Structure 1
Amino acid sequence: MPSFIKIMDVKINNITLKKAVDKVNKFLNGKDTKVIYTPNTEVVMIAKDDDKLKTILNDGDLTIPDGIGLVYASKIKKRPLAERVTGYDLSVEMIKLANKKGYSLFLLGGEKGVAKRASERLKNIYPNLNIAGVHHGYFKGTHIGYKNHEDEKKVIEIINKSNADILFVGFGAPKQEKWIHENKDKLNCKVIIGNGGTIDVLAGKVKRAPKVYQKLGLEWLYRLIKEPWRIKRQMVLPLFMLHVLFSRKNIVK
């Protein structure tokens, strides 16, 4: 089994959730800052026409297949990914690892108060978890076109002073990827993961799809039922499959 495949020139690690957790464990025992990206089908389609985002994703230390569409596409092209590995599931496993081994966690993202609420809920579930700090995502920084803004510098200083081992960045794609790429060398964390709406789910602000939807790979359908306005975003899924079906070059080992 190849260690990764390329889907529309985006490198996706061919990995199971268990092996991804093993990699995170190794990252936490290392000295360098490691970055994890969690692209789904929509993000890969954006990267197809955005060379900067594509380069950023390919520069990650671990890039997991968050979208079921990526898994289906790999199977259609007979280069199957081992399984879907969602950013949320990996993030939860990282929380469990931190709770067990004493690593500290910083939550960055969401509206004001959301990260704090998430930290409080996590402490109730994982009493040994060390929450190093929290900060909302509504500050002027690279993710919204304010590179090296004073607000961004202050946030980075807060994170570094917290001595956090793990940093969750939940700005949504592609904002979080661009922010992480720009600032990773300024941060002292061992592992940084861009995990979209994970903080919102941990805070109880957003509900994840029921297990049956998750198992069938239909979380996108659940979100569409709950949020019909997402229809424009979900139209990318059939477009993605058309690209996969009618081009031999879109998935390679």
Structure 2
Amino acid sequence: MYDYYLGGKDNYEIDREAAERIIGQSPDILDSARANRAFLLRAVRTVVASGIRQIIDIGTGIPTSPNTHEVAREIAPDTRVVYIDNDPIVAAHADAKLTSTPGTHFALADTRGPAEILAHPAVRDNIDFTEPVALLLVAVLHFVSDAEDPAGIIATLTEPMASASHLVISHGTLDFHGPDEVADEVYRKSTAELSLRRHAEILPFFDGFTLLEPGLVRAPLWRPDGPPPEAGALGHVGIYGGVGRKD
């Protein structure tokens, strides 16, 4: 569905049907998806420019170019990237589009199993936790329920990370519009339910990290490439984004 929102071609009929149902009810989902993607690209450029040369990107989804490794390598060609997703279909696409590039790897694993992610050979053999690493959780934590302890998942994933490592999070929110019953219904029938959270609920995910300026803000406002958009131009973009540096 995310690939479809971005105008990609790597999606399936069932994805398109579900996405169109949400678009019909909430056309701003397209703006949110594109704002999220643009935030990802800016965040990757920022962490690589700071010296990061290894990235773990969890919740990859079907790859839609430009991908994390493509953006990172524009700045530092030696950057290593491990992509992680729990969908076998994504794994099939990753074989064709991601891991054919030297220095990129893929692990079929679930965000809800952080210890298993850290122990996976793709991570264990390619990420040196004695050196700074960037952990990307972009548009993935809103698929983790409170009962599944997202804060605990982050703590497990970030505990072995060296000082000066970075944590990149974007997260859907209802702070700017009311509950979307259609979206809730569609996601209940998919692989994961949707847990949209308020700003005050997302901010603690950065515990142990110092937020880079401008903090946890709506995605288009996080270090935009041009002049910051006016508040009225943001519409109902319902995505927060932030990047933290490990103390």
Give the TM-score of the pair, scaled to structure 2: 0.35
Structure having the larger proportion of residues in helix: 1
Give the TM-score of the pair, scaled to structure 1: 0.35
Bigger relative contact order, structure 1 or 2 (CA pairs below 8 A, ≥6 apart): 1
